[in-house]
Structure 1
C-alpha cells in the first residue's frame, strides 16, 4: 500500500506520470481491440 506521501511523490515525478499514462493508453488500446477481434 502507498502512503499519501508516496502518492504525492509519484505525482510530482513527471517521468513516472508519463510512464503511467503510456501504460494506461496501452491498456486502453488493448481493451478497444478486444471487441473488434470478437466481432470478426
Structure 2
C-alpha cells in the first residue's frame, strides 16, 4: 500500500484529503447525525 501512496504523492495527490468539499455537503445534517446517531452507535 505504501507504493500507491508514494506514487499519488509524487503526482500531487493525497489519499486522505479530498481536493474540494462535496457539493451536497449539509452542515446541519452532519451536526444532527453527530448529536443523535453517532453516540447511539458508540454504545
Same fold (TM over 0.5): no
Normalising by structure 2, what TM-score?
0.35
Higher-helix-fraction structure: 1
Question: Which is bigger in relative contact order (C-alpha 8 A, separation at least 6)?
Answer: 2
- Structure with the greater alpha carbon radius of gyration: 2
